[in-house]
Amino acid sequence: MLQQLDRVEGLQRINDFVVKFANVNGSGSASANALFAKSILRMGITATPRNIFPSNIQGLPTWYEVRISDAGHMAARGGGVDLMVAMNPQTWDQDVRSIEPDGYLFYDNTKPMPLEKFRTDIVVIGVPLTEITNTAYKDSRQRQLFKNIVGLGALAALIEIDPAAIEQLLAEQFKGRDKLIAANVQALHMGRDWVRQHLDCPIGLTLRHADSVGDRIFIDGNSAAALGAVYGGATVCAWYPITPSSSLAEGFIRYCNRMRVDKATGKNNFAVVQAEDEMASIGIVIGAAWNGARAFTATSGPGISLMQEFIGLAYFAEIPAVIFDVQRAGPSTGMPTRTQQSDITSCAYASHGDTKHVLLIPDDPFECFEFSALAFDLADRLQTPIFVMLDLEIGMNDRLSKPFIWSDSRRFDRGKVMTTQDLEDGKPFGRYMDVDGDGIAYRTLPGTHPTKGAFFTRGTSKDRMARYSEEGADYKENMERLLKKHDTARLLVPPAIERESKFPTKIGAIYYGSTSPAIAEANLLLEAQGIHMDLLRIRGFPFGDEVSRFIEAHDSLFVVEQNRDGQLRSLLINEMEIDPKKLVKIVHYDGTPVSARFIASAIAAWLAKGAS
């Protein structure tokens, strides 16, 4: 029986395990990997994949980890892998090390590995993928691509993926190209047949049709946010490529080409400029929004650093702007392809001088879509930059999410813009005059009226009529009004969501963004230990009253974040006058997504320490 070293029993699990593919970047593995995850979803089982990739185009190792959980857990599980598909000799040792005891190792044994390269406490499955494909195909590119599909066929037989699910996906993917479908199915069968002929199938990890997916959709957060920008009425996008945000701007282009080209004229109801840098990107956004178009840029931490001066201008001159920050590990270039929530401070207080900005923090693709569309309304309403805070974990990984919803009766909130008629009717206009008492002044767009409403926009201090002024009183009045406007924003950003424990408790946890699935699962792990927590998910800044109420109502409070310094915790302390001792920092910042196990053990350890 070739290389099957059946020295241990092997894990026995149904619909609840972790499979990890170790690949070489640029080897064409991505589409086979996606097919693997999607076919499991089609069986009704929750599967959550994560790309773990280097800052490289070709040659370096990449991994694709899929958590399969019928219970619906979508966070990184943490700990080892149950089935390692080791296709990259370069990372062999670390891949073998990462397998759970009694776990499985799947590898291409065309050139068998020496025995000392294995562990004795795992099950090794060898399939000669290269030999199979080299026999069947002459062309080297075909050999490479179909090897991935042959491997998928072999795996499908080993863990019992429904072949109909894979074949259906292939049929959809290559619709209209029957030859391609047939070739892929043939490769799939090649792998399956070899395994069935030579190995005992299935192994201890198996899949059964289930019902934990429902009507949910499977999409990455960047695409969801891009679609939200289309629905939110964005017409101008200016961007500079930067991982992990590039796919957001590219998604906008893709959706616009599909949905925003005027059928009658063939002309575009949008404009996208790939700018020369992030400063130009935000400059274009500010210019467009000053002129009444809905405009956005997508970037990551280094881009936010570069945009600081312009962000201050937009804040002080009060120009709408939407900025998507898909966060990655900083500082500096940091780890460009690893996830973090480490731009909270730099966005909340972006630019020199006294500034405070509005942040929206989605936790899944559904909210990426919602908050993206909302951001354009808020930018117009508040006439200020709105930051939508994604991160690599949400932005670049496909995940299950509630389907997107929209109401055809929904209208844009264009905010306070004086029309030609308003001016004609003699409605008084002072660009920085607080007429309504909410800190938001009326603006006019260039070209509106021949004699009324023109003003000079500037980053210098000015009086309420937009005239240059260095008078302390004018400056202070303006700054106080900006603070009032920020307070108005408190009522407009999505409120924090509380999830109460089944039992009354004085323990609370505060979290946001991509930490969501891990905390939900950690909560279950802690409940099993008798620790009950109320949960509060922050979805925006400035914080609403519900946040202070939650903090007042609990004695032990954990703020769980994916950065070193506890940036949201600092923001809570700073903005709500909270005693720092009241907020315990639970941080995970090594660039990998936080896991339930990490959170649960950190909280349990802290509570145990307190008890002793």
Q: Which residue from 233, 334, 415, 495 is in contact with other proteins, where contact means CB under 8 A?
A: 233
Q: How far is 268 from 461, CA to CA, in rounded Å?
A: 38
* Chain residues 40-69 in contact with other proteins, contact rule CB under 8 A: 41
List the strands of the sheet with 385-391, edge to edge: 271-274, 236-239, 295-299, 321-327, 385-391, 358-360, 540-541
Structure tokens at 47: 């599967």
User: 440-465 b/e with 16+ CB inside 10 Å = b?
Assistant: bbbbbeeebbeeebebeeeeebbbbe
CB 308 within 8 A of CB 325: no
404 lies in the site for other proteins, by CB under 8 A = yes
Each residue 124-163 as x (binds other proteins by CB under 8 A) or -, in order, gives ----------------------------------------
Closer residue to other proteins, CB minimum distance, 64 or 290: 290
266 lies in the site for other proteins, by CB under 8 A = yes
- What minimum distance in Å lies between the beta carbon of 429 and other proteins? 12
Q: Could you tell me which stretch among 57-65, 83-91, 155-163, 441-449 binds other proteins (CB under 8 A)?
A: 441-449
238 lies in the site for other proteins, by CB under 8 A = yes
* Chain residues 292-311 in contact with other proteins, contact rule CB under 8 A: 292-293, 295, 309-310
- What minimum distance in Å lies between the beta carbon of 256 and other proteins? 10
324 lies in the site for other proteins, by CB under 8 A = no
Closer residue to other proteins, CB minimum distance, 176 or 504: 176
Lookup result for tokens 């603070």:
483
Closer residue to other proteins, CB minimum distance, 114 or 353: 353
What is the Cα 456 distance to its own chain's centre?
Answer: 39
- What minimum distance in Å lies between the beta carbon of 334 and other proteins? 24
Q: Which residue from 116, 211, 408, 579 is in contact with other proteins, where contact means CB under 8 A?
A: 408
- What minimum distance in Å lies between the beta carbon of 212 and other proteins? 14
Other Cβ atoms less than 10 A from the Cβ of 140: the count is 9
Q: CA-based diameter of the chain, in Å? A: 91
201 lies in the site for other proteins, by CB under 8 A = no
Q: Could you tell me which stretch among 56-64, 114-122, 132-140, 217-225 binds other proteins (CB under 8 A)?
A: 217-225
164 lies in the site for other proteins, by CB under 8 A = no
Lookup result for tokens 């936790």:
363
Q: How far is 212 from 214, CA to CA, in rounded Å?
A: 6
Q: How far is 237 from 282, CA to CA, in rounded Å?
A: 9
Q: How far is 544 from 569, CA to CA, in rounded Å?
A: 15
Q: Could you tell me which stretch among 83-91, 189-197, 229-237, 527-535 binds other proteins (CB under 8 A)?
A: 229-237
412 lies in the site for other proteins, by CB under 8 A = yes
Closest CA to 361 of 590, 583, 514, 521: 514
Closer residue to other proteins, CB minimum distance, 41 or 68: 41
Closer residue to other proteins, CB minimum distance, 99 or 319: 319
* Chain residues 12-41 in contact with other proteins, contact rule CB under 8 A: 41
Q: Could you tell me which stretch among 225-233, 331-339, 525-533, 590-598 binds other proteins (CB under 8 A)?
A: 225-233
Closer residue to other proteins, CB minimum distance, 101 or 447: 447
Q: Which helix (H) or strand (E) holds 295?
A: strand 295-299
Phi-psi map region of 307: left, alpha, beta (phi>0 left; psi -120 to 50 alpha): alpha
SS3 105: strand
Closer residue to other proteins, CB minimum distance, 410 or 506: 410
218 lies in the site for other proteins, by CB under 8 A = yes
* Chain residues 166-195 in contact with other proteins, contact rule CB under 8 A: none
Q: Could you tell me which stretch among 176-184, 246-254, 262-270, 570-578 binds other proteins (CB under 8 A)?
A: 262-270
- What minimum distance in Å lies between the beta carbon of 260 and other proteins? 7
* Chain residues 462-481 in contact with other proteins, contact rule CB under 8 A: 468
Each residue 347-386 as x (binds other proteins by CB under 8 A) or -, in order, gives ----------------------------------------
427 Cβ contact list (under 8 Å, min separation 6): 418
Q: How far is 501 from 450, CA to CA, in rounded Å?
A: 62
SS3 344: helix
406 lies in the site for other proteins, by CB under 8 A = yes
Closer residue to other proteins, CB minimum distance, 260 or 597: 260
268 lies in the site for other proteins, by CB under 8 A = yes
Residues that bind other proteins (rule: CB under 8 A) add up to a total of: 73
Give me the DSSP letters along 513-582. GGGHHHHHHHHHHHHHTT---EEEEE-EES--HHHHHHHHT-SEEEEEESSSS-HHHHHHHHHHT--GGG
* Chain residues 445-464 in contact with other proteins, contact rule CB under 8 A: 445-451, 454-460
- What minimum distance in Å lies between the beta carbon of 399 and other proteins? 11
210 lies in the site for other proteins, by CB under 8 A = no
What are residue 123's DSSP bridge partners? 104
Closer residue to other proteins, CB minimum distance, 68 or 295: 295
* Chain residues 275-294 in contact with other proteins, contact rule CB under 8 A: 275-277, 279-293
Cα distances from 495 to residues 11, 52, 512, 605, in angstroms, run 44, 32, 12, 30
- What minimum distance in Å lies between the beta carbon of 410 and other proteins? 8
236 lies in the site for other proteins, by CB under 8 A = yes
407 lies in the site for other proteins, by CB under 8 A = yes
Residue length of the chain? 612
CB 229 within 8 A of CB 62: no
270 lies in the site for other proteins, by CB under 8 A = yes
Closer residue to other proteins, CB minimum distance, 63 or 376: 376
Q: What angle do CA 127, 132, 137 make, to 5 degrees?
A: 150
CB 391 within 8 A of CB 514: yes
Q: Which residue from 267, 502, 581, 609 is in contact with other proteins, where contact means CB under 8 A?
A: 267
* Chain residues 506-565 in contact with other proteins, contact rule CB under 8 A: none
Q: How far is 522 from 553, CA to CA, in rounded Å?
A: 21
Other Cβ atoms less than 10 A from the Cβ of 547: the count is 23
Closer residue to other proteins, CB minimum distance, 294 or 328: 294
Residue 157 phi/psi, 5-degree rounding, is -70, -35
Closer residue to other proteins, CB minimum distance, 76 or 237: 237
273 lies in the site for other proteins, by CB under 8 A = yes
The dihedral formed by the CA atoms of 600, 603, 605 and 610, expressed in degrees to the nearest 10: -160
User: 114-139 b/e with 16+ CB inside 10 Å = b?
Assistant: eeeebbeebbbbbbbbbebbeeebee
Cα distances from 146 to residues 51, 106, 134, 507, in angstroms, run 21, 17, 10, 53
